[in-house]
Structure 1
Amino acid sequence: MTVDDPKYQPGEPPAPPADAIISPDTRRDNRIPPGQSRTPKWPVLDAFGTPRLPPADRWKLKIFGLVERPYDLSLAEFQALPRVKVFADFHCVTRWSRLSNVWEGVSTRYLLERAGILPQAKYVVCHGYDNGWTTNLPLSDFLAEDALLTDLHDGQPIAPDHGGPVRGMVPQLYAWKSAKWICGIELLPHDQAGYWERGGYHMRGDPWVEERFRDD
């Protein structure tokens, strides 16, 4: 990525668009969490490299687990749902932060309310197309107002290297909780470690208290 790349952010971070949901962390006096440094770039990091993804007409998102009405969405059906924009910062556990991102897609609240959340559901496991990769989150974090499944970043389609065509985005947690290449959302009654969590990463991942690694 170079200074000619439209994703490069020199100088002061951009202001939020008028029609966006504002992530609360962007309102802090100091927007850089402990141990982080701002980057003007958008680095590419993942566990296995970019997977082979299905063509657009075969892409599918599955909502299942502890819901009243499990359902699947095609990419066209996903993109036809009511949309939101979210203005948020993005914090990677590897210690970089990219400020003032504009994500556009479908609210996680909308997706799960459409399915009907059962009372015993307390946690979410997000499934990715990359070799069965998963990550876990408390349901309350996944339902935050600024959480969404996103297919646009700063007005452009999300490239496969960054998790497109659709990725999760939970801005108030470290970025590994925002599942790239998402293909499934599963609701569970108990916490269930995902790929990085089984390797020692924190079960929640709050960047403001440096929940990088598990201590159990």
Structure 2
Amino acid sequence: MGLSSLLWGRSAWESTSRLIPNGVGAVLPQPTSGWRIYTVASTMPRIDPASYRLRVDGLVQQPVSLTLAHLRALPVAEQVSDFHCVTGWSVDDVRWTGVRIRDVLARAGPLPSAGALAFVSAERPYVDSLTLDQALLPDVMLAWEMDARPLPRPHGGPLRLVMPAMYGYKSVKWVERVVVTREPVVGYWEERGYDRDAWVGRSNAA
């Protein structure tokens, strides 16, 4: 999901919190940005960018382990897109910088049987997935910058998935592994009743 910045009034918090399963924490650290950050673990992962590795494996010709330098050496993608949380809030015009999924997958070579990608977070037990067609949409990326700054820890730094056409719980934070699979896996929020295909305006809270 997203990060929480905007401090809510009591009634707004009570209304929104009914949509969040028990055990999910909310952090509200930045009073004017509009973001709200939710966590499913007791603490957010703390990852040293210098030692970070992204593992790409599963149904591939050659599993790979990519540093941030490896990722930045791939064709750089930039975009401005809106971020929508299933609990009802949005942040408009977020500027992301990163790499397209197709360029990451090209390093590993998906097998013909590949049909989906599972994105595994360093925040245990968070995982979610996209079909291969969804992951290859032109505005999907793995991002290492947000609004021209290195991706902050609460937003999933050093690397997170960005899937603007779906609600924020699909945009997995702190991505440490991409597993190529035949079919989408059941994600953390899908296990708790949320839609697998979380298109904005067409699922869940729509």
Q: TM-score range by the shorter chain?
A: 0.7 to 0.9
- The amino acid across from 1:194 in the alignment is G
| Structure 1 match to 2:20 | none
| Structure 2 match to 1:133 | 126
Q: Following the alignment from structure 2 to structure 1, what is the Cα–Cα distance between the partners of residues 87 and 55?
A: 30
For the residue of structure 1 that corresponds to 2:39, the secondary structure is: coil
Deviation track 1:87-126 (CA, whole Å, cap 9, x = no partner) reads 2111111111111111001111111123222221111110
- The amino acid across from 2:141 in the alignment is L
| Structure 1 match to 2:95 | 102
| Structure 1 match to 2:56 | 63
Identity %: 32
Return the TM-score normalized by structure 2.
0.79
Q: Following the alignment from structure 1 to structure 2, what is the Cα–Cα distance between the partners of residues 141 and 147?
A: 8
Q: Following the alignment from structure 1 to structure 2, what is the Cα–Cα distance between the partners of residues 125 and 80?
A: 23
Paired residues for 1:48-127 under 5 Å:
48=41, 50-127=43-120
For the structure 1 residues 48 and 190, does the alpha-carbon distance in structure 2 shift closer, same or farther, using more than 3 Å as the test?
same
Runs of 4+ in 1 over 6 A off after TM superposition: none
2:186 counterpart (183, 189, 193):
193
| Structure 2 match to 1:170 | 163
| Structure 2 match to 1:5 | none
Query: Shift of the alpha carbon at 1:187?
Result: 1.1
For the residue of structure 2 that corresponds to 1:137, the secondary structure is: strand
- The amino acid across from 1:166 in the alignment is L
- The amino acid across from 1:173 in the alignment is M
| Structure 1 match to 2:13 | none
For structure 2, the residue ranges without an aligned partner over 5 or more in a row are 7-31
Pairwise CA RMSD? 2.0
Return the TM-score normalized by structure 1.
0.75
For the residue of structure 2 that corresponds to 1:87, the secondary structure is: strand
Query: Shift of the alpha carbon at 1:40?
Result: 5.7
Deviation track 1:64-91 (CA, whole Å, cap 9, x = no partner) reads 1111221011122223322110121111
